[in-house]
Structure 1
């Protein structure tokens, strides 16, 4: 359950993050961030047990924050929890727009027997890999060459009304906004298995593509050339920002572990889940980076969503986008429900005070997704900013402070423990600041 919940959209940006950090340093950072976030998550799980003389069996982590920090802890934990939820929903909207656009384009071309060759740098052959970022930096006058026996006017009209950033993000409103207004999205929780299917298929896709493309690696620690990136890059905090959200489950881990039949196995199960998540991220990130064909392309061409490196007529990528699109359309209402419950219950004491309250909240959340998909469709940037922001509180600061305070009250605080946890807090702060500097 924890693995299934934690595995999300961040997996699509891990190869891009490794590119930003450098191959070797990227692998090291995934391992270190996995260990660090696991330890902080362990501190969250144990935080209730360190409160004496009070029954905390029904407490969530925000309740623990309120106990230690008063109303500031209560409201700040709500704020950062909303940042993580809304940030995830914005990323979902950008990705759903991307997947819907490519899916619609594939179906239209197939039905009308249209062969479209995108004018972007790429490899030749059946296993084509493209470099959209190079085309966007040097855009040609015509985006594509159309090979069709019919009239191309219909295709041009289709491209005008089926635009990735200008029209498709708005089409999603008609489907998803009504779903957000449902009182209980329990129906969509039944489709949680789609998340597992999507991740398994992504691993299969990555394996098949790597087997066909081969391995393209050249090790060089600091020198950068046209085809390879160095093993260490100063942009590595961009990967740590992505990983903070990729390993983030701290605000709901207590709830998830409460369903365990044997509570004494919580730490073991949490460790196994983090190991599996880290292994999945490592596998996908390393294989995509290593197999990316450079030359003739550059590793710099790896996109923030690695599926964008495969053309829209690639059948395996088409199936991946279909899986992910349906998964996200079922998870999105669940995220909206969590945001509604946390926010409206805090302000009004009721998760559904009225249709008007819920509609205003949902319109604001959907509007944020549409605006980002329209003007800033960079999922890597959104993930690292929101991940570093909410991670500062839930991953680094609150678990460490609560542990230090509880040790101090029990008279068990030592200098090594104090120094280590202050260092963890400083790491979280540096991680957030670096996102805005690099």
Structure 2
């Protein structure tokens, strides 16, 4: 799943007010239109533009995130050949619909506009509410996934340092695990009864301990402090790439299908659902590309960025899958769970990711609160902020205790939000734009209908997966 960066961009989008062709005006009340022209026609300070290279890196950096940890699991569920086709197909579709949003904004918006405001301009208030609602769903899914990851990283990091200072002299004959088959000890480790503590459980007490650490951070009045740590996201992605390459070179190629390993075609929807969230950048793509100094290069730069993202996902997902020496069904939806706790590279990855996710989480929670307040019939207040924070934390704790599968959460969230933000809304917006400009034909309308149907089928297939 793409990392949710510190930004107000997913919060209150600037309205997009611009005259439409053939005398049409934005579908809003007259008073609001007059006020909007009065406000948004005033001169604004020039924003510093960025080069194409920085723009490409910005898109790559914004998309990449925790989805990297689940990509190999998605490849395993789909099977390698189907997975490679799906990654290319979803990358192409997501790239195209993101570009469609840029084209719609070119005709009907501005460089500070975003999808909800475009929806209100072209489709009406209902579409704006839909856009906000499903942005809320994406952010809620991100909050839950991050909570599960914080819990996981904290649990194993504490255990790692505890064992370093204990008298435990156990000899570990492998760093690979297959938790699905052999529980916490793994198929290649000497079976040892792990002591069970009522005060330290991965799916019982640790999610609550995370609340003690994180909840105070959610109530900061100014979350801009946490934006200083955003560079850790790039560092984490680079480290994970190095991690997978090093492990792959160490293992070598293990591509032969083992006895008992079968692939069910409908399980490929696991990967397509995940990819809908993994390539999700549509809610802020207009602002990111609006900062590009050479606007005529937007199509080229966006394409290069998506190609880089696709290559990164392929390297991590397919590369890990091809080289993994155990049964491919052993691959976990968090690849770090396939490594024994004492593996040094894995321990470093968990420590790095723990710090990064803890600093990113308050930003994602802030954006979730902003979206929630937009939809609630209450004015923003300190008590409302605390109440929403408590609700978010309770929901995260419950999911981390009873459904701690980040792969499942990502695929459902991606399929639902993808249907709306990646397939349906860009298609509807572009069809409406073409209609207003007198360029809509039946085959164009049919083409965008097919894209929307693809998103609907992708969502429907999630309910027929063999878990």
Same fold judged by TM-score > 0.5?
yes
Q: How many residues align?
A: 406
Which residue of 1 is the match for residue 393 of structure 2? 366
User: In 1, are the aligned partners of 2:185 and 2:191 still within 8 Å (CA)?
Assistant: no
Secondary structure of the structure 2 residue equivalent to 1:160: coil
Deviation at 1:383, TM superposition (A): 0.1
Q: Which residue of 1 aligns with 2:242?
A: 204
Question: Given the alignment of the two structures, is residue 404 of structure 1 paired with residue 426 of structure 2, yes or no?
Answer: no
Question: CA-to-partner distance for each residue in 1:350-385, whole Å, 9 max, x for gaps?
Answer: 6xx222100111111111111111000000000000
The alpha-carbon deviation at position 125 of structure 1 amounts to: 4.1
Aligned position for 1:13: 70
- 1:46 equivalent in structure 2: 103
Equivalent position of 2:16 in the other structure: none
1-structure distance, mates of 2:268, 2:315: 19
CA contact (8 A) 1:20 1:233 kept: no
Alpha carbon RMSD of aligned pairs, Å? 2.3
Alpha-carbon deviation of 1:256?
2.2
Q: Distance in 2 between matches of 1:163 and 1:355?
A: 33
Shift of 1:225: 2.7
CA-CA distance at 1:136 after TM superposition: 4.4
Q: CA deviation at 1:79?
A: 0.6
Q: Are 1:19 and 1:229, in contact at CA under 8 Å, matched by a contact in 2? A: no
Deviation at residue 264 of structure 1 after TM alignment:
3.0
Decide whether the 8 Å contact of 1:109 with 1:115 is kept in 2. Answer: no
Alignment partner, residue 394 of structure 1: 421
State the distance in 2 between where 1:347 and 1:45 align: 29
1:301 is aligned, of 326, 330, 351, to 330
SS in 2 for 1:413: coil
Superposition deviation, residue 137 in structure 1: 11
Pick closer, same or farther for the CA change 1:254–1:311 going to 2, 3 Å.
same
Is 1:106 matched with 2:133? no
Q: Which residue number in structure 2 is paired with residue 79 of structure 1?
A: 133
Alpha-carbon distance in 2 for matches of 1:307, 1:48? 41
Q: CA deviation at 1:116?
A: 5.3
In the aligned structure 1, how far is the partner of 2:459 from the partner of 2:439?
A: 31
Match of 2:145 in 1: 91
Q: Call closer, same or farther: CA 1:108–1:44 in 2, change over 3 Å.
A: same
- For structure 1, which runs of at least 5 residues remain unmatched after alignment? 118-123, 147-154
CA contact (8 A) 1:13 1:380 kept: yes
Which residues of 2 match residues 28-39 of structure 1 at below 5 A?
A: 28-39=85-96
Q: 1:233-252 counterparts in 2 under 5 A? A: 233-252=265-284
8 Å contact kept, 2:111–2:287? no
Mapped contact 1:19–1:300 kept (Cα < 8 A)? yes
Helix, strand or coil at the partner of 1:13: helix
Whole-angstrom CA distance in 2 between matches of 1:266 and 1:359: 41
Q: Which residue of the partner structure matches residue 193 of structure 1?
A: 231
Once residues 116 and 82 of structure 1 are traced to their aligned partners in structure 2, the CA distance between those partners, rounded to angstroms, is 47
Distance 1:229 1:290 in 2: 16
Q: Deviations over 1:149-184 (max 9, x none)?
A: xxxxxx947x43221110111111112111111122
2:309 is equivalent to residue 277 of structure 1: yes
Q: TM-score, normalized by length of structure 2? A: 0.82
